[in-house]
Amino acid sequence: MLHAVVPAGGSGTRLWPLSRAQRPKFLLPLTGTDSSLLQATVDRVRLLSRPDHVYVVTGAAHAVDVARQLPEVPGDNILVEPSPRDSAAAISLAAAVIAEREPTAIMGSFAADHLVIDGGAFAKTVEKAMELAATGLLMTIGINPTGPDTGFGYLRLGAPVGPGYQLEAFVEKPDQVSAVEYVSAGNYLWNAGMFVWRVDVFLDQLKRHRPALHDAVRTLAAAWDSNRREALFAQLWPTLEKISIDYAVMEPAAAAGKVGVVPGDFDWHDVGDYNTLGQVLKANDKVGNVIVRGTGDALLSEAKRNVVVPAAGRLVAALGVDDLIIVDTPDALLVCPRDRAQEVKGLVEELKQANRTDLV
Amino acid sequence: MLHAVVPAGGSGTRLWPLSRAQRPKFLLPLTGTDSSLLQATVDRVRLLSRPDHVYVVTGAAHAVDVARQLPEVPGDNILVEPSPRDSAAAISLAAAVIAEREPTAIMGSFAADHLVIDGGAFAKTVEKAMELAATGLLMTIGINPTGPDTGFGYLRLGAPVGPGYQLEAFVEKPDQVSAVEYVSAGNYLWNAGMFVWRVDVFLDQLKRHRPALHDAVRTLAAAWDSNRREALFAQLWPTLEKISIDYAVMEPAAAAGKVGVVPGDFDWHDVGDYNTLGQVLKANDKVGNVIVRGTGDALLSEAKRNVVVPAAGRLVAALGVDDLIIVDTPDALLVCPRDRAQEVKGLVEELKQANRTDLV
């Protein structure tokens, strides 16, 4: 039985105006259904878990929304960080809290803002990772690349082991030439930031590579169900090193031969922008228009391959336009070609510089 | 001193979603200022007139909006038609009401939904028309064509007379070949539907060519300031022939040599669609973007020659799009290329057929 941890952080400015500082990507219904990415992630891990074995780690700013979106997750399993201190602190805290309850539990960590359509295939892959995690490896799940993407880090496979491989190395986001090499080489997978391990094994590696972080999250976890939790958080949390879980634990552990990898046999999407969203979701008609489920209607006339988000309860009428992004929200509207979806980030910067913080 | 009549009718479905059945074109601020087309028209004729010599003829559905937009026009000068019966009835009624007050008054009729930027040049042209109208001609004002437009009727000039010409003939909207011929011939002007005449001369021609209509509007006008007005309207108005002023009076009068024309020495625009609006209004930046004054803001980034109407109090952000129309209203949004502006009419038809009468 898996203890599933869902770190729910990040903003997603390329998904403005739907995503805002107060309404980050993981809270948005970008799944082709009414579920948010967070809700879909929790639904997915529930195939391998029990409701009281699901944990979410999120920031104070989003605790209320997370609680409301996930009424079935026990309150004590929603770990609220007083301030963001990167993924090592968030994931280590969850591991320590789980270890208090079940010292050799197998834990998986799955980001809240990724989209996986086939939950069954996802579960089968995680089960393979659990099998290897039980033997004492820190497991990661690698995605079979669909192309030489430079937006992801890569995992270089080593020797086969059980249903997976040793992980030879984590590889940073490559340039285009290297990405093409990796994909044609065949022994590289995308690093999707999914981890599976026994909490005792993980905490042992954490103690070895980041002892201060280890001691702090252990102290916090030991006081979890006591009245000292808040005071300890106030005292310890601001002192924690801001570092990613990859740098803090996974890379040094990989160098020591302690990390394995299972290839992910499922569609996996980091829905980073509206163009990607349009590629991932099913078209609503035969000419490739994707209408993201919202509160409004869309009327498309002689219009092809557009991504339309009618999220302001209004009619969005598009006539004679192709390959366009149209995102309608109550206080801001975006119109932009799909091939410039990445640049939406720059608009958000412009708004910040113009002091329109009400809109970002 | 001119008695100025402003027929305020027509809908303007190519200007959807700004224009609606209940909010026709002439009520909209499409002038580059906060004024509606109606308000700008009345401001323009006021250069030649007195406040109590300005008349508006409009439908019952728009009487309240007209009254509110034009607080300086006396209530008795706003002629409210119980139902639309085309331009002959509307303009003839105004002529008859004016004749009751001043039997040989010179009256001008100027549509509420045309845009003229240079009010001074307009006034000078109308003064020339008044000079010829005083001699007993029914005058029309012809616009110097800026190109072979097939969307207007044309006026064929005859012999010079005073500061103008005899009108040889009204010519229907031409095909492209004929339009090119007209413009190169040099003796054709656009018919802008502007008329100037002595009311006694006009009513005489009306009596000759449409005696029933003449008698009805005379009867209504005679009872204008009495308590019989409403009953007479209910009795007579529904019986009136639905016919344009051109067919009813101007064409037969022209055939009888009674019509003159003065060339209009001013910019004149029938703002029929958003592309035309973008051509007519001054761009807001050096790359040709026209932002129609509304209640919201626009943020344009690497975007050229767009026509943007932020009329819903929201931010309209456009990134990397050119030659696009973006119209944002509280319950509907339109996105459409400028070169397909004419087809917006078809969207309104689609909405009607889909029973979305709330949006049309």
Out of A331, A332, A343, the one facing B319 most closely (by C-beta) is A343
In chain A, what residues touch B316 (CB-CB under 8 Å)?
A: 332-333, 335
**What is the reported pLDDT for B14?**
94
pLDDT digits (tens, 9 = 90+) for B137-157: 999 999 999 899 988 899 999
Q: Say what the ipTM of the complex is.
A: 0.77
Residue A122 has a pLDDT of: 96
Minimum distance, in Å, between the CA of residue A161 and any CA atom of chain B:
49
Contact B316 A337 (CB under 8 A): no
Question: Do A266 and A281 sit in the same domain of this protein?
Answer: no
Shared domain for A252 and A283, answered yes or no, is no
**Is residue A290 a contact partner of residue A278, using CB atoms and an 8 Å limit?**
yes
Say how far apart CA B321 and CA A335 lie, in whole Å: 8
Distances (CA, A) of A192 to A107, A195, A263, A268, B179: 16, 9, 11, 8, 65
Which pLDDT score, from 0 to 100, does residue A61 have?
87
CB contact under 8 A, A328 and B326: no
Single-letter code of the amino acid located at A119: G
Cα A262-A268-A270 angle, rounded to 5 deg: 120
Same domain, A129 and A242: yes
Indicate yes or no: CB of A317 within 8 angstroms of CB of B333: yes
Selecting from B330, B343, B359 the residue whose C-beta is nearest the C-beta of A320 gives: B343
Our CA-based measurement puts residue B291 at a distance from the nearest CA of chain A, in whole angstroms, of: 15
In angstroms, the CA A106 to CA B256 distance is 100
The domain boundary, picked from B254, B270, B286, lies at B270
Same domain? A30 vs A152:
yes
Instruction: Give the end of a domain, one of A270, A290, A309.
Output: A270
Q: What is the pLDDT of residues B247-289, one digit of tens each?
A: 999 999 999 999 999 999 898 998 889 999 999 999 999 999 9
What is d(CA A214, CA A91) in angstroms, rounded to the nearest whole number? 11
Residues of B with CB under 8 A from a CB of A: 17, 299, 301, 314-321, 324, 326, 328, 330-337, 340, 343-344, 346-347, 350-351, 354, 356, 359
Q: What is the pLDDT of residue A359?
A: 94
Contact A316 B301 (CB under 8 A): no
**Dist. CA B52–CA B77, nearest whole Å:** 7
The torsion angles phi and psi of B78, rounded to 5 degrees, stand at -95, 105
Q: Residue A239, by phi and psi: left (phi above 0), alpha (psi -120 to 50) or beta?
A: alpha
**Residue B339 distance to chain A (closest CA, Å):** 9
Mutate to test the interface with B, among A315, A355, A360 (most CBs of B within 10 A): A315
Bridge partners for A299 per DSSP? A317
CB contact under 8 A, B335 and A334: no
Interface probe for B, chosen from A289, A319, A322, A325 (most Cβ of B below 10 Å), is A319
List chain B residues with CB under 8 Å of A301.
343, 346-347, 350
Residues B190 and B151 in one domain: yes
> Does residue B292 share a domain with residue B347?
yes
pLDDT of A11: 78
Cβ atoms of B191 and B155 within 8 Å: the answer is: yes
Q: What is the pLDDT of residue A226?
A: 86
Which CATH number belongs to the domain containing residue B104 in this structure? 3.90.550.10
* Model pLDDT for residues B57-79, shown as the tens digit of each residue: 999 889 999 999 999 999 889 99
What's residue A110's pLDDT? 97
* Interface contact A335-B347, CB threshold 8 A: no
> Of B242, B270, B298, at which residue does a domain stop?
B270
The confidence score (pLDDT) of residue B9 equals 87
Positions in chain A whose pLDDT score sits under 50: none
Residue A60 sits in the same domain as residue A194: yes
- Interface mutation target, options B275, B289, B300, B315, chain A, most CBs of A under 10 Å: B315
Q: Tell me the pLDDT tens digit for each residue of A107-131.
A: 999 999 999 989 999 999 999 999 9
Distances (CA, A) of A303 to A30, A316, B307: 22, 12, 19
> Are B236 and B298 within one domain?
no
Element (H, E) at A101: helix A86-101
Sort out which chain A residues have CB atoms less than 8 A from B324's CB and list them: 321, 335
Q: Are A321 and B337 an interchain contact pair (Cβ–Cβ within 8 Å)?
A: yes
pLDDT in tens, B180-208: 999 999 999 999 999 999 999 999 999 99
Residues A339 and A256 both lie in one domain: no
Q: Which domain holds residue A304?
A: 277-359
Contact: A334, B326; criterion CB under 8 Å: no
Same domain flag for A127 and A14 = yes
A261/A308 same-domain check: no
Amino acid occupying residue A147: G
Average per-residue pLDDT for chain B: 94
For chain A, the residues whose C-beta falls within 8 A of a C-beta of chain B are 17, 299, 301, 314-321, 324, 326, 328, 330-337, 340, 343-344, 346-347, 350-351, 354, 356, 359
| Distance from the A179 Cα atom to the nearest Cα atom in chain B, whole angstroms | 28
- Number of structural domains in chain B: 2
Q: In this structure, are B342 and B208 located in the same domain?
A: no
CA distances from B335 to A267, A325, B300, B323 (A): 33, 10, 15, 11
CA-based nearest distance A29→chain B, Å:
21
